[in-house]
Structures are given as structure tokens and as C-alpha cells.
Amino acid sequence: MAFRTIIEPFRIHSVEPLRLTEPDQRRDAIRAAGYNLFGLSARDVMIDLLTDSGTGAMSRDQWAAIQHGDESYAGSPSFDIFRGAVQNLFPFKHIIPTHQGRAAEKILFGVIGGPGKVVPNNTHFDTTRANVEYTGAEALDLVIAEGRDPASRHPFKGNMDTSALDRLLTARGHLVPAVMLTITNNSGGGQPVSLANIRAVSEVAHRHGKPLILDACRFAENAWFIRQREPGQQDRQVADIVREIAGLADGMTMSAKKDPMGNIGGWLAVNDDDLAESCRNLLILTEGFPTYGGLAGRDLEALAQGLTEVVDHDYLRYRIRSTGYLGEALAAAGIPVMQPIGGHAVYLDARAMLPHLEPLEYPGQSLAVALYVAGGVRGCEIGSVMFGRHPDGTEAAAAMELVRLAIPRRTYTQSHIDYVIEVCQQVAASAAGLPGYRIVREPKSLRHFSAVFEPIPS
């Protein structure tokens, strides 16, 4: 490479205005939102790093594909184009479109879940866990020990502990309907799973007669990390790595709001005919006819195009490098971040930054609120607010207290990110004075979306 700077492999074609606000305005806005960042109007946010889900910029060719959408209720040619693009990377037999990832989860676990069942995963994403638990089943996280240590530099911290999986399947295999594996491991820090580990998980699952189902939202980012970090993978096309991964599994749940570059969408894919039929029956009940599921024909076309763009090496090099740019700058400024830097997000270690707060004073929430007030930057707590409440009603500290700064795809420029770095530095400098929070009101499940907080007076 002749030059050090890795440029965005696109230029801007259409722009959206940002509304610039002052700290006083933001203090009022967050108070009115019950100190919950999900309660803000996005007009009051300057740099929105709440999620990389559905918030990315579609390409010129995706917008063009939208015009090609066929909205026939049954047998839309747009479905054939969509299914072809999915099967080009994930050659599963049955492709079942849903309106987003959690709808695929709801349908899958509606069929294979139920009281007494156990579903292992490296780390369940919050909606995955909630959908497993909603059926009365247990969601078990079996990520390797390094995956729970924010400072560990293991190159594949999303790996599953295959010995623990083997022990589970030996002891309680009759209760396990399927093994899940999340690539990349979002709740564990956007960390990749190695090809060797996917092979090993597949071997253990199949030896015990269990299907392996991928939660593959960020499959292309995971495959890029494999290409970069795993011995022997450097000369491969990402698309080939993805196909090999798919060949090790028996199905997938997918949120097309991530790597497929959609603003909405998802799918469920399986090889098993009986399972597919049961899932399609539920699909018709809850989402729609099997050739559109929960989507419009135009969305199916945009996703098909997005799937061709996301495996492009120039795109992935820029994508992973720009996330690394933010993370490395924060680390260089002495701000503790989850290492190595993940694919779609940088995770600030709020427990290390706010050691004066107990986990159930929600240091992640406190840090996220402070970043918003200081600079209008919206991140997301991934800690005891998100994971602290258990189905039996008890509350306990989560394994880690993180704030995720998720980077929407192709949306923000380097100067936006330089601004975020400055905001983080300013907040880190005054972190010792940040208050804890208590929850005033919370819903029965997924409380982080709508809980109301108040600062604990010092």
C-alpha cells in the first residue's frame, strides 16, 4: 500500500442535515427522556452511535434496485432475486424472509423452544435471549473466558467454549433443540469467531445430533477478521469464507439491517424440510406470505444488492479500519476500551472509567448520558441495565459494564469520528464526578428500551 490513509471507497451523493445543539438543550432533552437515550428524539442527537442496525447509508445501486421492486403478493420476482443473493452466500435450502432479525428468532424459537429446553450460544444478543426465554427455555452463554475480559487481546474473543458445549450436550443434550453461534459476537464486544472454532462447534453439535444455527448479522465483518487474523486465510475471498461458514451450519437467523446494508429486513434459513414448514406456517400467521415475509418487494431487491456490496474487500477494509481508528484513538488517549477493537462498534469499559460506581448504580448508563450531554453523541449501555434483570425477577450485575459506540455503515466521515474522540476525552477527564442512576420504572422484559432513570444525588 503506497499511502497510509485508507479512504472511504465511495463519495457522497445525497446529504442529510445534522442539527447542532448546545449542552443546555441536551440536558433538558435527556431529563425529559427519563435519562434513557432510547427516549430521545433523534433530532436532538448529533452523532448517533446508538446502533449500526438499519441506520447505514444505502448505495446508489440499492436505491436503483428499490425501483425494480415487484409488489406482487405471491410469487414476486423480487423474492427470487433476494433468495438468489442469499443462497449465493448462504446455500441453505429454505430462505424465509422476515421484517427483521428478531422476527426470525421469534418464529424459530416458537417452533424449537419451550419450557425446560436449553439453547446454547457464544453470547445471546438481547432479543435472542428474550425470544428464547419467552418460550420458557433457558438461554445459555458459552463464550470462552477471554471473551468476558475487556482487556484480553485474544484475536477471536467471540469463540465458543467447545468443551463446555460438549459437557452441556453430554449432560443435558436431550433438552437442547439447537446450538446457536453469533458472528460477530455483538454482546461480547463485536468480536469475531474463528473459522477453526466454527468448525469445532459444528463438529461437537453434529456429533450430538444437534443442528447448528448461525446468528449471522455481521457475517462479512466476521469473515474479514478471519481473512486478516487466521493462519492460512489471507488469500481467500471473503465470499468464499462466508460460504464455508454456511456449509458448517444447518440454518441461520439474520438481521438484514446490519451487513446486508438494509434499513429494514431479515430472514430465517434452514435445510430441514419439516422445520421449514413449521416456520413458514408461523410466518404466514405473523409476518406474511412466504415470498415476501415481513417485507416489501422493493426491500428484498435492496437487500439483494446490499449483499453483493458488503463482501467487497475495499468496503470491508475501510469498514474495519474506520472502527479501529476510533478505538485506537480512544485507547491512545488512555480511555479503557474493549480490546481488540470489534467490527461494528467500539465498547468503552464503563466499570474501569467510573470505578466509584457500583454495577447496580449503572456506570454504563451514567457514561452514556454524559457523552450525550457533553457532545450530543448517543451510545448504548450494554451492561447491568440491559442484562441485570432476570426472568425470575431478581437483579444482578452483568458480566461487564460497557457503552457501545456503534458505527452505522457508510454514514459518518472521519471528522465526525474525530469529534466523537474529543467528546470522549472531555467526558473521561471528568468521569470521577459522574453520578450513579437508579431505575424509577421498568417494563417486564427488555427494560433498557423504556426504563425511566433518575440520577442518585451525591
State the residue for C-alpha cell 417494563.
Answer: 443
Interacting residue with ligand F0G among 189, 266, 290, 408 (CB under 6 A): 266
Shortest distance in whole angstroms from residue 22 CB to ligand F0G: 28
Q: Which residues in the 33-52 window bind ligand F0G by CB under 6 A?
A: 51
Q: Is 98 in the site for ligand F0G (CB under 6 A)?
A: no
Residue 257 sits in the site that holds ligand F0G (CB under 6 A): yes
Q: How far is the CB of 186 from ligand F0G (least distance, A)?
A: 4
The answer to whether residue 191 forms part of the interface with ligand F0G (CB under 6 A) is: no
Cβ of residue 439: shortest distance to ligand F0G, in angstroms?
Answer: 21
**Does residue 100 bind ligand F0G (CB under 6 A)?**
yes
The one among 92, 125, 347, 437 contacting ligand F0G by CB under 6 A: 125
Q: To the nearest whole angstrom, how small is the minimum distance from the Cβ of residue 217 to ligand F0G?
A: 5
Shortest reach from residue 257's CB to ligand F0G, in Å: 5
Least separation in angstroms between residue 102's CB and ligand F0G is 3
Q: Which of 76, 122, 182, 222 binds ligand F0G (CB under 6 A)?
A: 182
Q: Among 127, 162, 322, 384, indicate the residue that binds ligand F0G (CB under 6 A).
A: 127
Q: Are 180 and 124 in contact (CB under 8 A)?
A: yes
Q: Which of 252, 226, 255 is nearest to 98 (CA)?
A: 255
Between 215 and 301, name the residue whose CB sits nearer to ligand F0G: 215
Distance CA 52, CA 50 (A): 7
Among 78-86, 123-131, 203-211, 313-321, the segment contacting ligand F0G (CB under 6 A): 123-131
Residues in the chain: 458
Residue nearest to ligand F0G (CB): 101
Q: Please report how close the Cβ of residue 262 comes to ligand F0G at its closest, in angstroms.
A: 9
CB of 355 to ligand F0G, least distance (A): 27
Provide the minimum distance between the beta carbon of 182 and ligand F0G in the complex, in angstroms, as a whole number.
Answer: 5
How far, in Å, CA of 23 to CA of 36, rounded? 16
User: Among residues 58 and 357, whose Cβ is nearest to ligand F0G?
Assistant: 58
Q: Residue 131 CB, nearest distance to ligand F0G (Å)?
A: 9
Please tell me whether residue 128 binds ligand F0G under the rule CB under 6 A: yes
101 in contact with ligand F0G (CB under 6 A): yes
Nearer to ligand F0G, 268 or 431 (CB): 268
Secondary structure of the chain in HEC code, one letter for each residue: CCCCCCCCCCCCCCCCCCCCCCHHHHHHHHHHCCCCHHHCCHHHCCEECCCCCCCCCCCHHHHHHHHCCCCCCCCCHHHHHHHHHHHHHCCCCEEEEECCHHHHHHHHHHHHCCCCCEEEECCCCHHHHHHHHHCCCEEEECECHHHHCCCCCCCCCCCECHHHHHHHHHHHHHHCCCEEEECCECCCCCECCCHHHHHHHHHHHHHCCCCEEEECCCHHHHHHHHHHHCCCCCCCCHHHHHHHHHHCCCEEEEECCCCCCCCCCEEEEECCHHHHHHHHHHHHHHCCCCCCCCCCHHHHHHHHHHHHHHCCHHHHHHHHHHHHHHHHHHHHCCCCECCCCCCCEEEEEHHHHCCCCCHHHCHHHHHHHHHHHHHCEECEEECHHHHCECCCCCECCCCCCEEEEECCCCCCCHHHHHHHHHHHHHHHHCHHHCCCEEEEECCCCCHHHCCEEEECCC
Q: Say if CB 379 and CB 362 are below 8 A apart.
A: no
- Distance CA(185)–CA(122), nearest Å, equals 7
Residue 186 contacts ligand F0G per CB under 6 A: yes
Q: Which stretch binds ligand F0G (CB under 6 A): 94-102, 158-166, 280-288, 446-454?
A: 94-102
> Which residue number, 255 or 291, has a Cβ lying nearer to ligand F0G?
255
**By CB under 6 A, residue 215 contacts ligand F0G:** yes
- Residue with smaller CB distance to ligand F0G, 265 or 388: 265
Indicate the residue among 125 and 315 with the shorter CB distance to ligand F0G.
125
Which of 183/195 has CB closer to ligand F0G? 183
> Does residue number 121 form part of the binding site for ligand F0G (CB under 6 A)?
no
Nearest CB to ligand F0G, comparing residues 123 and 202: 123
CA dist 436 and 294 (Å) reads: 41
The residues of the shown chain that bind ligand F0G, judged by CB under 6 A, are: 51, 53, 100-102, 125, 127-128, 182, 186, 215, 217, 255, 257, 266
